[in-house]
């Protein structure tokens, strides 16, 4: 992984400025003050700021909820995994990056893919540690 991008991603995951969510890169609910992010969505936000991809708002079937999609155009958007452009820009091993198996520090973690870790309740701080150790 590109060291500068990795460092910024880890910093943001540990910052406390992002609410962790499940099932989408980023989700907005009218009932909540802050949007919810997957750990991969935090990386997508960094990519938007760097001009790598754009962010698009998409309505969900659930009333009062919206997802954000990321990509180069409205025809090529992702809502669950990284766009290919973000994967390449960041130097990652896939659009749903895999980490090495369990860390001695977190023996309870069995998932291998970042989206699975996120959606199974692994905290952003724990995910940041695993990214730091294995990507």
pLDDT at residue 105 tops 80: no
pTM of the complete model beyond 0.85: yes
Those residues whose C-beta lies under 8 Å from the C-beta of residue 62, and which sit 6 or more positions away, are none
pLDDT score of 100: 72
Highest-pLDDT range among 2-6, 63-67, 100-104, 127-131 = 2-6
Higher pLDDT, 69 or 102: 69
Those residues whose C-beta lies under 8 Å from the C-beta of residue 79, and which sit 6 or more positions away, are 24, 25, 58, 67, 68, 69, 70
What Cα–Cα distance (Å) separates residue 30 from each residue in 16, 78, 119? 21, 22, 21
């Amino acid at each position: 992984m590109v060291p500068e991008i990795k460092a910024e991603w880890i910093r943001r995951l540990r910052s406390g400025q992002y609410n962790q969510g499940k099932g989408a890169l980023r989700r907005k609910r009218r009932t909540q003050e802050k949007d919810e992010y997957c750990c991969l969505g935090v990386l997508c936000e960094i990519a938007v700021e760097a001009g790598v991809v754009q962010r698009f708002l998409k309505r969900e079937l659930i009333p009062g909820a919206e997802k954000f999609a990321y990509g180069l155009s409205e025809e090529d958007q992702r809502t669950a995994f990284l766009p290919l452009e973000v994967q390449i820009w960041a130097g990652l091993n896939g659009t749903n990056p895999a980490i090495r198996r369990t860390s001695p520090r977190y023996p309870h973690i069995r998932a291998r893919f970042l989206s699975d870790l996120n959606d199974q309740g692994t905290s952003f701080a724990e995910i940041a540690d695993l990214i730091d150790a294995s990507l």
